[in-house]
Structure 1
């Protein structure tokens, strides 16, 4: 069996995201994964577990009329079990558009993503796009 390194898990995750392969995306997460969504918008906060993250992503797709997308835009930077990845996330809705750079910081342990911290280049713009509760 090939060992799953933090970089290989991150690569599988972002490749599956780019193809819209939700089952493979979700399979990269540990069942008790902790997801830290930044900002002060309707989706901000901490989410625990695969089901919670699935509901978060579904909500983002609903609010963005199915247009929300995220793609890795640069090299994966690895420091032990941490993988920092520059990303670009986009979406459209009736009230505006989203096109921002960010960084996703994944913690990978035992071949699974156990934590994700997301960073946005413009938190105010992201909050405005997603809206409040």
Structure 2
């Protein structure tokens, strides 16, 4: 059996993200996509719309000087429009290092990502890394 289509769209998005290919990444997102980022730092909050999400990703790349690496470890669809991915995230920013497991909970609508909930292993460490 092949990969579930919902898992495939998440893998396609993850590969585009890892490669910094925001044009391809944009094709995997609905126009009204929302990404929820936990914590209390400069990236926290609800990023509403494709353009806002792409700006979030640009900011992550810029703030980490291109050191951001996200290695996908698992992608698990439920067959009902949801996918959970587990990954390992590593980045450097100034004299700070982020090195932790993270997770994303995706909602898929019409073959595209419409909602992303981001979870981190250590919210305090994420807050310290990203700062205000």
Task: Tell me the TM-score normalised to structure 1 length.
Answer: 0.90
Please tell me whether residue 53 in structure 1 is matched to residue 53 in structure 2: yes
State how many pairs are aligned.
128
CA distance in 2, matches of 1:72, 1:18: 9
Deviation at 1:18, TM superposition (A): 2.8
CA distance in 1, matches of 2:21, 2:32: 21
Whether contact under 8 Å (1:95, 1:129) holds in the other structure is: no
Query: Runs (4+) of structure 1 moved beyond 6 Å?
Result: none
Deviation at 1:5, TM superposition (A): 2.1
CA distance in 2, matches of 1:83, 1:39: 22
Please tell me whether residue 89 in structure 1 is matched to residue 92 in structure 2: no
CA distance in 2, matches of 1:45, 1:20: 22
Deviation at 1:17, TM superposition (A): 2.2
CA distance in 2, matches of 1:96, 1:126: 10
Q: 5+ unaligned residues in a row in structure 2: which ranges?
A: none
Please tell me whether residue 78 in structure 1 is matched to residue 77 in structure 2: yes
CA distance in 1, matches of 2:71, 2:119: 14
CA distance in 2, matches of 1:66, 1:73: 21
Structure 2 equivalent of residue 124 of structure 1: 124
